């Protein structure tokens, strides 16, 4: 399973850096975020297209020791100089065109776009360089890693941008991206053959009837068929987005061999219906949460005496509750994304209100990356939540924390990051 380099880099370009860059460049955070979203796949694509370029491989090999990741926004003149030189080696005379296109697309100035181009390039080189160093990749390994990105780069450009709009469409001239095999295949364009026949239709007759078997009239049935197929696909995708309940199977090593987790709430995968925080009643105390979300479901379950009446752990292991807000920074098991703390505090409040309740924590990842690393990461994240609850004097109510990696992920590794977010989650269930 090939690594998605863009996911690797996003950990360096989180909300804190976006906010700092917006302040430093005098732009809106939304504009900075939009520009980064367009630059990132373009830069990764440029590196992938130059995966055998010695200058690129040298830059990545040396990036891990240059300290570039620790000073992305305060880049020294020396760093800026070699990054600019590298960009010229990758994109040639198209650098200014990329800067102009991103500036227009994101609604920021050309100067800000140019600064972000250097910043994102530095983050990309630093992240890939660190990964290569951590995994003992030589230049051949780095070249292979970059080459693996060719099949996915074009699909990761945000709506409104394309390789052609960035004036770098000639990367793919004569080629097409093959997302199934992560390879680039030669595309041979074949001019359609047109058969010209001499009309012998008598005057006054119906030409459509006489040419019913001719090449031109094929569109009379083909075009409606294509439109019907397009409409059917659109309706299918709309129905698919409305799915709000998923079923996950998880191994529970402390109880029965198989722990089937029917998730009560679904992760936000970009569906049109937005979740809105409202007050959830906890014995007279208002908690901020979604109606029908994790807190609401857990409180309803406990108030119904369903937990008290459960005979043993096997009666509880089939129902898991997904956290709506708790998310870790990419690749981290100790740093939470902004807004995550509130839901952990809600969980602590629920446990304090129901001191007899016991829980288990579960962690999950998507299908990208090495599975052993995924299990390790998800286990560490589950342990982090368990330890946090212990610090709130609730350790006696947490009976276990386990990570399942991508074992139960359902979204394909080549899907978009937004789609794969459904598999990256933390969950909790009641236990005895």
Give domain limits for the chain: 5-184, 247-431
- Going by C-alpha positions, the residue among 102, 116, 87 that lies closest to residue 24 is 116
CATH architecture of 247-431: 2-Layer Sandwich (3.30)
Query: How is residue 51 annotated by DSSP?
Result: T
Contact 40, 124 (CB under 8 A): yes
pLDDT digits (tens, 9 = 90+) for 308-326: 899 899 989 889 999 988 9
CB 314 within 8 A of CB 256: yes
**Residues 417, 418, 424: CA angle, nearest 5 degrees:** 75
Give strand pairing partners of 321.
428
Structure tokens that stand for 290 in this block: 């979604």
3-state secondary structure of 160: coil
Residue in 360, 354, 412 with CA at minimum distance from that of residue 386 = 360
Structure tokens given for 328: 């870790």
The whole-number pLDDT of residue 153 equals 63
Which helix (DSSP H) or strand (DSSP E) does residue 154 occupy? helix 153-156
Q: How many CB atoms are closer than 10 A to CB 215? A: 13
Output the pLDDT for position 121: 83
Alpha-carbon distance of 356 to 399, in angstroms, equals: 12
Strand 259-263 to strand 319-322: parallel, antiparallel, or no bridges (unpaired)? Answer: parallel
Measured between alpha carbons, how far is 355 from 196 in angstroms, rounded to an integer? 85
Q: What is the mean pLDDT of each run of 10 residues along the chain (432 residues)?
A: 68 78 86 85 82 84 65 56 79 82 87 85 81 83 80 62 56 37 37 44 45 54 76 71 42 36 37 64 87 91 91 90 88 86 93 94 92 92 95 94 92 87 92 94
Quickly tell me which residue has 């979604």 as its tokens. Answer: 290
Using DSSP bridges, classify how beta strands 183-186 and 358-364 pair: parallel, antiparallel or unpaired.
unpaired
Taking each helix axis from N to C end, the angle separating 29-49 and 139-147, rounded to the nearest 10 degrees, works out to 120
Q: What is the largest CA-CA distance in the chain?
A: 96
**In the numeric block, which tokens belong to residue 316?**
């509880």
* DSSP assignments along 181-211, one per residue: TTEEEE----PPP-------PPTTS-HHHHT
- CA 322 from centre of chain: 18
Long-range contacts, stretch 133-140, CB < 8 angstroms, 24+ apart: 133/64, 133/65, 139/57, 139/58, 139/61
What is the C-alpha separation between 413 and 431, in angstroms, rounded?
Answer: 32
Q: What's the whole-model pTM score?
A: 0.41
Q: For residue 5, give every residue at least 6 positions away whose Cβ sits within 8 Å of its Cβ, in sequence order, or none.
A: 44, 124, 127, 128, 145, 146, 149
Q: DSSP class of residue 365?
A: -
Tokens of 159: 């709506």
Q: Quick one: which of 344, 337, 188, 319 has its CA closest to 264?
A: 319
Query: Which 3 state secondary structure label does DSSP give 59?
Result: helix
* Residue 45: predicted pLDDT: 81
- How confident is the model over 8-58, as pLDDT tens digits? 777 677 787 888 888 888 889 888 888 888 888 888 888 888 888 888 888
Which contacts (CB < 8 Å, 24+ apart) does range 332-341 have?
332/11, 333/377, 333/380, 333/381, 333/383, 333/384, 334/380, 334/384, 337/14, 337/15, 338/15, 338/16
Q: Give the position of tokens 């300290």.
A: 67
- pLDDT value of residue 383: 96
């Amino acid at each position: 399973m090939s690594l998605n380099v863009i996911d690797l880099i996003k950990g360096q370009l989180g909300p804190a850096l976006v906010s700092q860059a917006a302040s430093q460049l005098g732009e809106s955070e939304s504009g900075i975020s939009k520009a980064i979203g367009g630059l990132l796949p373009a830069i990764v694509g440029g590196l992938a297209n130059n995966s055998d370029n010695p200058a690129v491989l040298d830059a990545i090999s040396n990036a891990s020791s240059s300290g570039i990741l620790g000073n992305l926004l305060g880049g020294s003149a020396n760093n800026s100089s070699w990054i600019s030189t590298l960009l010229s080696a990758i994109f040639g005379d198209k650098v200014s065109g990329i800067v102009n296109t991103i500036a227009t697309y994101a609604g920021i100035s050309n100067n800000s776009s140019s600064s972000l181009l250097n910043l994102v390039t530095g983050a990309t080189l630093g992240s890939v360089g660190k990964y290569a160093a951590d995994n003992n990749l030589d230049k051949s390994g780095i070249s292979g890693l970059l080459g693996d990105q060719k099949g996915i780069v074009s699909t990761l450009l945000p709506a409104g941008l394309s390789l052609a709009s960035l004036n770098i469409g000639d990367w793919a001239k004569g080629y097409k991206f093959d997302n199934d095999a992560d390879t680039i295949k030669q595309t041979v364009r074949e001019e359609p053959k047109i058969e010209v026949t001499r009309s012998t239709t008598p005057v006054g007759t119906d030409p459509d009837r006489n040419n019913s078997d001719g090449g031109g009239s094929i569109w009379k049935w083909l075009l409606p068929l294509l439109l019907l197929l397009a409409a059917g696909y659109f309706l299918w995708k709309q129905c698919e987005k409305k799915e709000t309940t998923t079923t996950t199977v998880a191994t529970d090593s402390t109880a029965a061999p198989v722990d089937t987790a029917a998730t009560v709430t679904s992760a936000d995968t970009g569906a049109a219906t937005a979740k809105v925080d409202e007050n959830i009643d906890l014995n007279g105390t208002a908690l901020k949460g979604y109606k029908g979300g994790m807190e609401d479901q857990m409180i309803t379950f406990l108030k119904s005496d369903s937990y008290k009446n459960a005979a043993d752990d096997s009666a509880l292991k089939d129902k898991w509750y997904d956290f709506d807000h708790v998310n870790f920074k990419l690749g981290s098991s100790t740093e939470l994304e902004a807004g995550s703390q509130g839901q952990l505090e809600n969980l602590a409040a629920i446990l304090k209100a129901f001191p007899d309740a016991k829980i288990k924590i579960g962690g999950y990842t998507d299908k990208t990356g090495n599975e052993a690393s995924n299990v390790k990461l998800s286990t560490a994240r589950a342990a982090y939540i368990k330890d946090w609850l212990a610090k709130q004097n609730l350790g006696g109510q947490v009976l276990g924390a386990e990570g399942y990696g991508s074992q139960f992920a359902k979204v394909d590794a080549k899907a978009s990051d937004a789609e794969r977010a459904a598999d990256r989650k933390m969950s909790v269930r009641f236990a005895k």
